[in-house]
Amino acid sequence: MSVKTHRQAVQGLLPALTPVRFVTEDGSPVKESADYAEPSAELLREAYRRMVLGRRFDTQATMLTKQGRLAVYPSSRGQEACQIAGVLALREDDWLFPTYRDSTALVTRGVDPVEVLTLLRGDWHCGYDPAATRTAPQCTPLATQLPHASGLAHALRSRGGDAVVMAFVGDGGTSEGDFHEALNFAAVFKAPVVFFVQNNKYAISVPLARQTAAPALAYKGVGYGVRSEQVDGNDLVAVLSVLTAAVEHARTGHGPFLVEAHTYRMDPHTNADDAGRYRDDAEVERWQGADPLARLETYLRGRDLLTDEDVASAREAAEAFAADLRTRMNLDPELDPLELFDHVYAEPTPQLREQRQMLAAELQAEKG
């Protein structure tokens, strides 16, 4: 490769020097590193409605932990631009690989919220049907879902389809070996997968500075030959425009794409976390000023794309959604302990049958 083509190859992969941005923190239009098409007005209005709903879902889920209805809940409040754009950039037949953090994305995808919360309520592990929803189980072991995403993307393409895979991961997750292996595999096989890093600045208590010495996480794609970009993760317009381009890139056979979104986790890691031990309120306050929902609302109003009635009706829909969720989460589903033996293998082993019988006898004896 000549020096010139080499330089072009590198430059073609590099992220913008500053995060892509269409809207400032106070909601005014701006174009920073914004070499991407802005989403249509209709799509932005839709995104706004989803964001109002997503925010309401998230605060409702946090409330449910306080009432003891959920074992635990990792909130994504403050990250809704990512949660919503990550899903709206997809077609229905595309696949999503979410983490434990991404319940709002699942709700946006149309997965029944009670099925979403099955894991965190403690009824079963994954409450929805991954095949029917084209949504992988929410993944807890960090970054381990990413090689699956590369593999599935390769499978989809190998079978002649043009569906794309969107794989979420956190800033902390980028330190795991699986993150790097997944990027490399995807690049070598030109798998149509978008790696979407929500850099919310913390991995539980560990700040980004202890996670990486790179100028931005987005650079991590370059070494693997993966086209990379960084974006203001609290600017929905920017996130959606970049992810739409990334999905298109993958869909049209150009291989994987890595997007880093700079955002912030407003709530503690989970309801069980004590964030006061590692960050101060002033920092959280500052990010309050960058709230993605308020920003989008101001921006859309400024462009006359949103009326008071639109806002009221979005909020009303969100309230109804939350009320329905509350009611349904207050019912305790009947769980059958014997189901524990049903899904270990397609057919239970003789030993499992024996153990099942033992538990059945115990349950029978308990009933008296």
Ligand X SMILES: Cc1ncc(C[n+]2csc(CCOP(=O)(O)OP(=O)(O)O)c2C)c(N)n1
Which residues are known catalytic residues?
265, 269, 278
Q: How far apart are the first and last CA of the chain?
A: 80
Distance of alpha carbon 258 from alpha carbon 127, whole angstroms: 29
Q: What tokens appear for 247 in the block?
A: 């999905």
Q: Pick the piece of the chain touching ligand X (CB under 6 A) from 36-44, 117-125, 183-191, 197-205.
A: 197-205
Binding span for ligand X by CB under 6 A among 21-29, 137-145, 219-227, 306-314: 137-145
Q: Residues touching ligand X: how many (CB under 6 A)?
A: 14
- Does residue 170 interact with Mg ion by CB under 5 A? yes
User: What is the rounded distance in angstroms from the CA atom of residue 49 to the CA atom of residue 84?
Assistant: 10
Q: Which of residues 158-177 bind ligand X (CB under 6 A)?
A: 170-173
Whole-angstrom distance, CA of residue 65 vs CA of residue 69: 6
DSSP 136: P
Nearer to another protein, 60 or 211 (CB): 211
Q: At what angle do helices 308-329 and 41-66 cross, to 10 degrees?
A: 40
Name the burial class of residue 255, with classes exposed (0-12), middle (13-18) and buried (19+) by CB atoms within 10 angstroms of its CB. Answer: buried
Q: Closest CB to ligand X among 60 and 200?
A: 200
- The answer to whether 198 and 172 have CB atoms below 8 angstroms apart is no
Chain residues 66-105 in contact with ligand X, contact rule CB under 6 A: 101
Q: How far is the CB of 170 from ligand X (least distance, A)?
A: 2
Q: Which is nearer to another protein, 179 or 264 (CB)?
A: 179
Give, as ranges, the residues between 255 and 284 that touch ligand X (CB under 6 A).
265, 269
Q: Which residue among 82, 203, 218, 246 contacts ligand X (CB under 6 A)?
A: 203
Minimum CB separation from Mg ion for residue 210, in Å? 12
Which residues contribute to the site for another protein (CB under 8 A)?
Answer: 71-72, 119-125, 140-142, 144, 172-173, 175-178, 203-206, 210-212, 277-278, 335, 337, 339-341, 344, 349-352, 354-355, 357-359, 362-363
* Closest by CA position to 136, among listed 180, 172, 160, 169: 169
Q: Give the DSSP H/E element, type plus range, for residue 254.
A: none
Q: Edge-to-edge strands of the sheet including 227-232?
A: 95-97, 165-170, 193-199, 257-262, 227-232
Tell me the residue nearest to ligand X as measured from the CB.
170
Q: How far is the CB of 140 from ligand X (least distance, A)?
A: 5
Task: Choose which of 33, 103, 108, 200 interacts with ligand X (CB under 6 A).
Answer: 200
- Identify which of residues 86 and 170 has a Cβ nearer to ligand X in the complex: 170
For the CA atoms of 314, 36, 192, 259, the dihedral, rounded to the nearest 10 degrees, stands at -80
Q: Is 200 in the site for Mg ion (CB under 5 A)?
A: yes
CA distances from 197 to 161, 208, 250 (A): 25, 13, 16
Burial class of 19 by CB neighbour count within 10 A (0 to 12, 13 to 18, 19+): buried
Query: Binding to Mg ion (CB under 5 A): which residues in 89-128?
Result: none
Q: CB 199 → another protein: shortest distance, Å?
A: 13
233 lines the binding site for ligand X (CB under 6 A): no
- Provide the 3-class DSSP secondary structure of residue 97: strand
Return the sign of the alpha-carbon dihedral for residues 41, 42, 45, 51: negative
CB of 340 to another protein, least distance (A): 5
Site of interaction with ligand X (CB under 6 A): 101, 140-142, 170-173, 200, 202-204, 265, 269
Per CB under 5 A, residues contacting Mg ion are 170-171, 200, 203
